[in-house]
Amino acid sequence: MELLPEDVPNHFQNSSFFSILSLPCGKLVSRYYDRKISSDIFLTKTEKGRCECFRFVAAIVQNYNVYVLAETFVNSSSQETFGSLRTAVETLNGTDLWYAREILKMLDGYEGFKQGK
């Protein structure tokens, strides 16, 4: 497969790239294989020990070693997340408004929605 120049890391310039990676737990298929694909998202534990969400770009073979090229998701600001819910909450009043704002506060504070846990 041929990657876009901006997707190729410098130290993998002369490597082989593959758009499908079969693993014991399932198969990752890159958007390079099919633009309408939905099986390119996976969770993994990072070097910092956090579980984060990534998008599979390619499997790279170099010197008989296999590497995974993936991109991270950029966290949205808390005001961008759950936009339609925030708009609906502001139409409420009284105790409904208070409870709805408490729910939004809990969602904003829940790290899993931000880090893919």
| Residue of 1, 15, 22, 20 lying closest to 62 (CA atoms) | 15
Work out the number of other CB atoms within 10 angstroms of the CB of residue 57. Answer: 21
Long-range contacts (CB closer than 8 Å, 24 or more residues apart) made by 71-75: 73/116, 75/114, 75/115
> What are the domain boundaries of the chain?
5-72, 83-115
Residue-by-residue pLDDT tens, the chain, 117 positions:
677 777 777 778 778 888 889 988 888 888 888 777 777 888 888 888 888 888 888 898 888 889 898 888 766 666 677 888 888 999 999 999 999 999 998 888 776 655 544
| Residue of 39, 49, 56, 40 lying closest to 115 (CA atoms) | 49
The answer to whether 107 and 82 have CB atoms below 8 angstroms apart is yes
pTM: 0.58
SS3 3: coil
